[in-house]
Amino acid sequence: MTETKDADGDTVVVAIHFSKQKGKNVVNDIASVYGKDKNEFFLRETREGRLRYIDNKKSREWSQSSGLYLPTESNYSTASVKKVLSLEDVVNSTVA
């Protein structure tokens, strides 16, 4: 999920394959980029435990602009997700 909107005003999603081997290099490969026409998709993905990273500030900003409120930090963790990473986890390298 990005901050970018497509020509129709839909939130742009980028699918990334992390740490993919390309010849002698390991890269983060962009598989696809597209506008998601239903913002409810993001709420459903979160509820179903597929959220892996959240930037709390950007999430609040997106929620306010889209009118769709994602769960709060204390509510987005589910049994199927060991840890939802935040900016602090990535910057401080506290991820186990």
33-83 tens-digit pLDDT: 999 888 888 888 888 888 888 888 888 888 888 877 666 555 554 444 457
pTM above 0.75, yes or no: no
Residue 5 · residue 17 · CB < 8 Å:
no
Question: How many H-runs (helices) and E-runs (strands) does the chain carry?
Answer: 3, 4
Q: Is 34 helix (H, G, I), strand (E, B) or coil?
A: strand
> Which residues are within 8 A (CB) of 70 and not within 5 positions of it... i.e. 6 or more apart?
42, 43, 46, 54, 59, 62, 63, 76
